[in-house]
Amino acid sequence: MIKIMSFYKITDPKERRRMIEKLAQTRKNVREHFLEDKLGQLESSETLKTLFKPVTESQRELGEDIKEQLVPIQKAITAPLPLQALPAPMEEDLEKIGPKAAEYLRKYISSEKEVDKTFGLHSDDNGKTWKIGNKIVRVDGNDFIIGDEKYPGTRGLWELVVKDKPSGQNYNANDLNTYSEILIKTNAMRRNNDPMNNRPKSSVSFKWNNVVKDIWNKKDEYQGQGLNTTVVIPSDPNALVERLDLLMASKEAGNTGTRNEIVSVCDELLRQKILNKKAYKNIMLRL
User: pLDDT tens digit string along 138-183?
Assistant: 988 899 999 888 899 999 999 999 999 998 888 888 888 899 999 9
**pTM score over 0.85:** no
- Average pLDDT of 68-90? 46
Fill in the DSSP letter of residue 55: H
- 250 pLDDT more than 50: yes
173 close to 215: Cβ distance less than 8 angstroms? no
Instruction: Give residue 163's pLDDT.
Output: 93
Instruction: Give the model's confidence band at 279: pLDDT under 50 very low, under 70 low, under 90 confident, else very high.
Output: confident
Cite the DSSP H helix spans in the chain: 13-78, 99-105, 107-110, 155-162, 173-186, 206-207, 213-217, 219-225, 237-252, 259-271, 277-285
160 close to 154: Cβ distance less than 8 angstroms? no
Instruction: Give residue 209's pLDDT.
Output: 92
Instruction: Give residue 237's pLDDT.
Output: 84
Spell 40-73 as b/e; 16+ CB within 10 A means b: eeeeeeeeeeeeeeeeeeeeeeeeeeeeeeeeee
Q: Which of 103, 110, 140, 108 is closest to 121 using CA atoms?
A: 108
Sorted by where each begins, the domain ranges of the chain are 7-78, 90-232
- 207 pLDDT more than 90: yes
- 45 pLDDT more than 90: no
| Orientation angle between helical segments 259-271 and 277-285, nearest 10 degrees | 170
Q: Which of 228, 223, 247, 239 is closest to 274 using CA atoms?
A: 239
- 200 pLDDT more than 90: yes
Fill in the DSSP letter of residue 204: S
- 110 pLDDT more than 70: no
Amino acid letter for position 152 = P
Report the SS3 class of residue 144: strand
157 close to 151: Cβ distance less than 8 angstroms? yes
157 close to 100: Cβ distance less than 8 angstroms? no
178 close to 188: Cβ distance less than 8 angstroms? no
Alpha carbons 84 and 38: distance in angstroms, whole number: 67
- 210 pLDDT more than 70: yes
Instruction: Give residue 159's pLDDT.
Output: 94
Q: Which of 227, 228, 230, 269 is closest to 248 using CA atoms?
A: 269
Amino acid letter for position 98 = G
- 72 pLDDT more than 60: no
Cite the DSSP H helix spans in 79-210: 99-105, 107-110, 155-162, 173-186, 206-207
Beta carbons within 8 Å of 127's beta carbon, 6+ residues apart: 87, 88
Sheet containing 149-151, strands listed edge to edge, beginning at the edge strand earlier in sequence: 121-123, 130-132, 135-140, 143-146, 149-151
Report the SS3 class of residue 90: helix
